[in-house]
Structure 1
Amino acid sequence: MFNLSGKVAVVTGASSGLGREAAIAYAKAGASVVLLARRFELLKEVAEEIQTMGCEALPIEMDVTDEKQVEFSIRKAYNYFGHIDILLNNAGIAVAGGVDSLTVENFDKSMNVNVKGLFLVSKYVVRHMIENNYGKIVNISSINAEIADKSDLFIRHSYNASKAAVVGLTKGMAASYGKYNITTNAIGPGLFESEMTEKSLFKSNDFLNMYNTANPMSRTGKHGELNGTILYLSSEASSYTNGQLIIIDGGMSII
């Protein structure tokens, strides 16, 4: 049920962090992988690692907020493989600040990458999925779509808004495209160490101590702990799972 042999997976934000881990997990499950991100040199490293596993990988430099780049990249991927079966919308940023201090520029930056970028990539992928009457779309949201940080140590109002919008867009897509045998679901990670968080949250011992004390499992997420859910939502194991937000946070959101 989790075998992805013969499938083609598109991964945004694939150059590092959770996106890189997911791309390698797809390859281990047998899929060919299209790697999309702005940093092409890092993408080539991921592609080479996947190719050593005996799987195909196509790295393409792309900015998710640029519609022309997105349209070109998805067309290139489709022409290369002939079909696209899985889309992991992983590209995202976290901008600190509350509504009293955020600049309009930074608010727009959050929405453009986290919401507009997801919309644009989905726009050009889902057309091919409709034609093929098959697709698995997995959107990376956040625990912060459901709960917010009360601590003044790290306030991210634009991140809260953008990741909540991802959940709304996920539900809309699920409702519209389910009839084409396309499932659309979202994952809400808690705190995981990644390139994005290690430069911010993981630098604050006070924040980490607070998080680990409050979390029922007394720790942050480990590398690879999202991959099981990603593979579930990308495979036939989730054939009747549609429009859902699955939170992976060690139980943080239940308390």
Structure 2
Amino acid sequence: MNPFDLTGKTALVTGASRGLGKGFALALARSGADVVVTSRTLSSLDDTVAEIEALGRKAWPIVLDVREQDSIEAAAEAAWSAAGHLDILVNNAGCNVRKPALEVTWDDWNLILDTNLRGVFFTAQAIARRMVGRGYGRIINIGSVTCVNGYSGLAPYCASRGGVKQLTMSLADDWGQHGITVNCLAPGWFKTAQNAVMYEDTGWVDYLTDRIPLKRPGAPGDLDGTLVFLASDASAYMTGQTLLVDGGISVGAVKAVPKKA
């Protein structure tokens, strides 16, 4: 048997209307899973649903705002009712505000932490409550290289992603007894709608590329193998871990300063 095969499994992916979330939903479908896809607006999921169905898999679009507790509970119930059960949760929905730390407002902080950390916890909790009864679950929290590295202009975001790493370990310890694994997939620098404007600066792209040992930012598909691994029985004895898929930037690689003769 292929331990990476997700045939017969059902997944829920938050923030699945575009970017990495859409890519995650399609990667799971290509590996055999049926997928519940969520976003704050139902119409934004049309393309994702169509592409999943074109792969021969079932797709259910559901409205979910991870900043609202009632929305989380309603979406969890609707997803379970539509799909019959959920085996996999990909906690992907997130946001960011780029500002120097001295300019970050109270509202900026609340928006980012409510979405990226509180939303991750309560979405995981709502789905795990239902997984417990089946004695099986794969929860994948999406972090970033900022789980382990800090960057200027990203103070609340780095705080939220560092929190996701710690939260992942705590939930793994809490829910392992119920057959639920909880791991974190932490991408490096990938071009998304949130950061697309940065990639318009060729000087910045050159600077970034120089810092990445593999000498390129992340490309579509670079996360698929790790995601499927964490979602599948191939990772059955792995929990509480953060896997960085970042081209090596987290090792702190910089160009050596040449020594004077």
Instruction: Calculate the TM-score normalised by the size of structure 1.
Output: 0.95
1:98 touches 1:158 (CA, 8 Å); kept in 2? no
The 5 Å alignment of 1:125-204 reads 125-149=127-151, 155-198=153-196, 200-204=197-201
Q: Residues of 2 paired with 1:240 and 1:62: CA distance? A: 31
Count, aligned residues: 250
Shift of the alpha carbon at 1:222? Answer: 0.2
1:93-127 per-residue CA deviation (whole Å, 9 max, x = no partner) reads 12112331100100111101101111121111001
- Unpaired stretches in structure 1, ≥5 consecutive residues: none
Q: Does 1:233 align with 2:230?
A: yes
The 5 Å alignment of 1:72-111 reads 72-111=74-113
2:151 touches 2:158 (CA, 8 Å); kept in 1? no
2:36 touches 2:83 (CA, 8 Å); kept in 1? no
Q: Residues of 2 paired with 1:147 and 1:49: CA distance? A: 35
Give 2:243's aligned amino acid: I
Give me the CA root mean square deviation.
Answer: 1.1
- What secondary structure does 1:100 align onto? helix
- What secondary structure does 1:42 align onto? helix
Q: Residues of 2 paired with 1:222 and 1:44: CA distance? A: 23
Q: Does 1:115 align with 2:117?
A: yes
Q: Residues of 2 paired with 1:81 and 1:188: CA distance? A: 28
- What secondary structure does 1:34 align onto? strand
- What secondary structure does 2:181 align onto? strand
Whose radius of gyration is greater, 1 or 2?
Answer: 2
Give 1:244's aligned amino acid: Q
Q: Residues of 1 paired with 2:155 and 2:109: CA distance? A: 9
Equivalent of residue 213 in structure 1, options 207, 210, 214: 210
1:140-194 per-residue CA deviation (whole Å, 9 max, x = no partner) reads 11101211225xxxx1111100000001110100011111111000011110011
Q: What fraction of aligned residue pairs are identical, expressed as a percent? A: 34
1:65 touches 1:120 (CA, 8 Å); kept in 2? no
Q: Residues of 2 paired with 1:238 and 1:128: CA distance? A: 21
Give 1:180's aligned amino acid: H
Q: Residues of 2 paired with 1:133 and 1:20: CA distance? A: 28
Comparing 2-11 and 44-53, the one that deviates more: 44-53
Q: Residues of 2 paired with 1:203 and 1:165: CA distance? A: 30
Shift of the alpha carbon at 1:209? Answer: 1.4
Provide runs of 4+ in structure 1 moved above 6 Å.
Answer: none
Shift of the alpha carbon at 1:24? Answer: 0.7
Give 2:244's aligned amino acid: I
Shift of the alpha carbon at 1:208? Answer: 1.3
- What secondary structure does 1:139 align onto? strand
Equivalent of residue 29 in structure 1, options 28, 31, 46: 31
- What secondary structure does 2:102 align onto? coil
- What secondary structure does 2:103 align onto? coil
Equivalent of residue 43 in structure 1, options 42, 45, 48: 45
Give 1:247's aligned amino acid: L
Instruction: Calculate the TM-score normalised by the size of structure 2.
Output: 0.93
